[in-house]
Structure 1
Amino acid sequence: MRRHGDDEVHEHDRGLSYDLPVLARRRMIRLLAGAGAGAAVGAGLAALAGCTAEGTSSSAADSAANCAGVPEETAGPYPGDGSNGVNVLKESGVVRSDITGSFGESAGSTAEGVPLTFTLTVVDAASGCGTPRKGAAVYVWHCDREGGYSLYTEGVADENYLRGVQETDERGRVTFTSVFPGCYTGRWPHIHFEVYGSLRDATGATAITNTSQLALPKDVCETVYATAGYERSVDNLGRLSLESDSVFRDGHDQQLATVRGSVEEGYNATLTIAV
C-alpha cells in the first residue's frame, strides 16, 4: 500500500496472493545464491515462473471444464419452424423483440397475461463460457396463459403471437417482451428456444445450433397462477415438479431462469445459455 506523502511501499499489505510468490522467489534466490551460481538463479526463477504459468493454465482448463453447454431438448410438437407444418420463420415481421401480438396477416390479436420480459445471453462453451456469441440468432416460442400454442391449438391456430427472432448484441444478449406462459397438462412451465449461427440462418430456418427450453421457478409460477386468467394452470402445476417433468427431470441447472418482479409490475427473467 502506497502512503500519501511518501514513497514507502509495504509488500506485506498487498495480501496473501502477493506474499506467497514473493517469499518463494526469495527462498529460491537464497538457496541458489549460496552455491554462487548466478545462472542457476535465473534458471530457478524461470522454473518458478513455469510452475506459475502451469497453474494458470490448469485454472483456465478447470474453468472450461465447469462450463456446461445447455442440454439439447425436444422442440415439441408446436415449433413453427417448418419441421412440423407451418414455418413462421420465413414470414416478414418475425424478427422482433415484442412478441405479445400477432404480426403480418395474423396481426390484430394480442396474448393476455402477466407481463414477462426475458433475456437470454448466448456464450461460447468452448471458451469456458467467457466469450459472448455476438451475431447469433435466437428464435423463441411458448404457450399462452391458457396453455395454447399459436399456429397449432384450436382457437389460436390463426394467430402467430408469442413467437419471435432476434440477433444477439455485442454482449450475446437478446431480450423479448411477452406474457407469462401458462401450465398445461403434463409439462412444467417453460419457454422453447432455438439458437442459430446467424440471423440469416434463423430466418431461413436452416442450420440450428441448439434446441432447448427455459424452465420457470415454482414460487413465481404459483404467484402468477393465482391471478385471473390462469385458473387452468393451478391444478396442472400442482400435479408436477421439475423432477418429474419429462424434459427437466434429468437435470435443469443450465435451464432454470432467474426471475424477479411482481404481478403488478411484471417479471424479468434471465438465463445464460452456453452453446
Structure 2
Amino acid sequence: MTGNIENEQGPKHKRDLTRRKVVVASAGAAVAVGAGATLAAGAFAGENGKTKGASATSTSSDSEVCYRLTSETTEGPYYIDADKLRQDITEDKEGIPLTLDLKVIDSETCKPLRNVAVDIWHCDALGIYSGYESLSTGGGGLPSGAPSGSPTGEPPTGAPSGGTGGGSIHSEPTDDERYLRGTWKTDKQGRVTFKTIFPGWYQGRCVHIHTKVHVDGEWTDAGYEGGHTCHTGQFFFDEESVLASAEVEPYSTSTTERTTLTEDTIYDQSGTAGGLLTLKYDKKNIAKGVRASITVGVDPDATHDGTDDAVQPGGGGASASPSSSAS
C-alpha cells in the first residue's frame, strides 16, 4: 500500500499534482471498476434548495438542485489511503444497513464529474475505526491516558475525531483491519453508491461519515493513479435518525455519551451544503435499513486534502472559497 496522503504532500498545484495511488488486490478489481455498478434511479429526488445554508441553483437541462461548493472539513487522524476498491464496505460488521448514494458535481458548472475516485470511511456501530481499534474509544471505554468525564465538545486526546489542532495530525494504523472503508469511481452521471452500515458514535463527535474526492487521476490495471484531492468532507445524520438507531442493537449497548448534531465542533450547521444527508427509512422500523443521499459540489481545480483550510474543531465556519486553496 502506498504511503498516506499527508506524507506525500508537496507544494500545491492545480492539476499537475501526482501524489496518490490506489493499490488493489488484483487486476480483476480494475475490471470491476470499469464495469461500474447498478445505481439507484432517482436517488436524489428528495433533495431541495430549502435546506438551511445551501446555495442552490437549477440548470436548464437538469431539474436537480446544484449545491455550490460543499463544506470542506478536516481529514481526521484515521484516514488510510484508499486501501480497498469496492462499493460494499460492510464486511461482517453488525448494524443497520445503509445505502449511500452520492453525486459529485463541479460546483461552478453544476456538471457531473465522471470517473473520479471517491473514498468513504467511518466507525462501526460502537464507535470503532478499522485500522485503529486500539486507539478507538467505542463502547464507552477510553484508551490508556485519555481524559475521562463527559465530553465538552472538543474531541479528547486519542479518540477518533475529525482532527485536532491544525487538522494535519495523522495516526499510523495500528492493525490490519479495513472494514467500513472503500473507494469507487463515479459513473457518467457523477454518481456512486456504497453499501455499509449506519455509523455509531464516540466521545466528542456526532454521527458522521468521512469522504474524499480525487480528480485528474487515471484508472489502470493497478487501480487509480495520480491526480489530486479536490474535496475532503464529512456527511452527517439528523438527530431523529440517530435517536432511532440508538434503540437498535448493537447501538443500544453503547455506554458512550453522545454528542448531538448541534453540539458537534466539525459540522458547520449549514444543512445540505455542510454535508447533511437526505435520509429515507421506515420511521417505525429503522432496523430495516436506511437510504442516504447527497449531491457533493466540488472545485476540481482546487486542492483540499483536509489538512489546512478545512473547518476545524470549534471553528463552525463555512468552507473556504475555491480560490483560497488553488495556487
Q: TM-score, normalised by structure 1?
A: 0.63
Structure 1 residues 205, 176: CA separation in 2 closer, same or farther (over 3 Å shift)? Answer: farther
Q: Does 1:269 align with 2:292?
A: yes
Cα distance in 1 for partners of 2:253, 2:272 equals 27
Equivalences, count: 192
Cα pair 2:216 2:226 within 8 Å, conserved: no
Cα distance in 2 for partners of 1:69, 1:119 equals 18
Q: Deviations over 1:201-229 (max 9, x none)?
A: 88447511110000011111111111111
Cα pair 2:248 2:287 within 8 Å, conserved: no
Cα pair 2:68 2:108 within 8 Å, conserved: no
Q: Does 1:223 align with 2:244?
A: yes
Structure 1 unaligned runs (5+)?
Answer: 1-60, 82-88, 102-109
What amino acid is the match of 2:75?
A
Question: Corresponding residue for 1:117?
Answer: 99
Cα distance in 2 for partners of 1:80, 1:205 equals 17
Cα distance in 2 for partners of 1:96, 1:199 equals 17
Cα distance in 2 for partners of 1:192, 1:73 equals 9
Cα distance in 2 for partners of 1:261, 1:189 equals 17
Q: Does 1:211 align with 2:193?
A: no
How far 1:233 sits from its partner (Å)? 5.0
Q: Deviations over 1:165-201 (max 9, x none)?
A: 1110111111000011001111010000000115648
Cα distance in 1 for partners of 2:247, 2:240 equals 11
Counterpart among 74, 97, 101 of residue 87 in structure 2? 97
How far 1:67 sits from its partner (Å)? 4.1
Cα distance in 1 for partners of 2:57, 2:253 equals 45
Counterpart among 115, 136, 147 of residue 127 in structure 2? 147
Cα distance in 2 for partners of 1:182, 1:206 equals 32
Counterpart among 173, 197, 219 of residue 191 in structure 2? 173
Q: TM-score, normalised by structure 2?
A: 0.54
Structure 1 residues 274, 225: CA separation in 2 closer, same or farther (over 3 Å shift)? Answer: same
How far 1:160 sits from its partner (Å)? 0.3
Structure 2 unaligned runs (5+)?
Answer: 1-55, 60-65, 137-173, 299-327
Cα pair 1:225 1:234 within 8 Å, conserved: no
**Max Rg structure:** 1
Cα distance in 2 for partners of 1:184, 1:75 equals 17
What amino acid is the match of 2:116?
A
Cα distance in 2 for partners of 1:206, 1:152 equals 27
Cα pair 2:67 2:296 within 8 Å, conserved: no
Cα distance in 2 for partners of 1:200, 1:191 equals 25
Q: Does 1:259 align with 2:241?
A: no
Cα distance in 1 for partners of 2:70, 2:255 equals 29
Cα pair 1:242 1:249 within 8 Å, conserved: no
How far 1:68 sits from its partner (Å)? 2.1
Q: Does 1:160 align with 2:140?
A: no
Higher relative contact order (CA 8 A, sep 6+): 2
